[in-house]
Structure 1
């Protein structure tokens, strides 16, 4: 005996569609499918915690050797990722960032292609004051958004990651700047982040490393490199490299820095 089991797709906002499966009334298959359908009904009713739990139960119950259950599993993972996002977001709004992080991560395990859980994970980490990890997570979210065709969101995520480093730099929290900048640079390049890291390294006397990052900032900044040239000149001056410092100061043309550069050149006898 056969019956039709309606396995609807996730909400249209996430770009997935309704699916219909014909399943034999084998006990385990029906159980997995009915759990999924119950979970889907809860999801549509915005009862996200119940939906999340039922999607998980459907996946646990499904028989991976059954063709029908394989389809159930595929849909349960897609819908489970959506449920996870809402569970995580509700938890995060209630300041339960640990629960939020757990939900977002489960959602990513279900469906690594669903970009919203990457964003949620980064937000949860930030809420837990795990700033270096949050910076990396925002960059990962940016990559996921780009793959999903969400270029604007990808730019927002990368800007957020860079701004977090900038905020720590503004507070002169040099230890945090180092951790966050290192996390950022593992996932991408930024002239400003190299500059922030250069400043942080200079604060504890790591002049050679500070110079390396200042030079990298100059290299990445095709235009508007004067701020980074000032940094390089001052590091070279502190290292006793007068000729190198004067040379760097002479390359500065921006009116914001040029008078100071001229003064420093004069002080150095250039």
Structure 2
């Protein structure tokens, strides 16, 4: 299916690996000119070269910036120019007891998980509205709806992303610009795979057995396996396309059925 993204420009934050990279690769495959992002210049350059190798006809570039640093984000925005598709993907993730997360760590999660989307949307949404077209997609999580007790700080920031996206959508009334959120579920990203590999090595077992045991602890998953990053990316590409013109202000699930509510 032609997603009608040929010649559009896209920026994906936090896209040197995992879901972000999968989204960037999928957009590039549909003919979008894609800018990758990560904190480290070396990793950004490597991701750009990898994507060019996987999509030889693609137009790919990269900008390094740490979203925990407002000045770095301002510099990134200065380099970007007009963007048709903004994917607010960058985010911190981690398990921690509520009492063990101090104010500084809370602030770091807010800066990266929430203020990244605030700053990028504040910079790029007005141009979309002026040009009369554009897409903003937030990558949130089912943890923003059902906040886990062992990562309250993460879940709260993911809930804030959902609220931010919904509020921004109301600014697009009567235009061809949309703002939506994807609620991802347990995804076998590069980081998750590395962690499971370390656990498996320490236990002297196969990584697949650890992976299956971890997902088996999730009592509500209907998929009964980890989601692949490409499966999240497929929904993002649809929302980024003109085909999703009637979807705005929505939080769409790619959670494998983890959430048990109907709405």
TM-score by length of 1: 0.22
The structure where strand makes up a greater share of residues is 2
Looking at CA atoms only, which structure, 1 or 2, has the larger radius of gyration? 1
The structure where helix makes up a greater share of residues is 1
Q: Report 1 or 2 for greater relative contact order, CA contacts < 8 Å, sequence distance ≥ 6.
A: 2
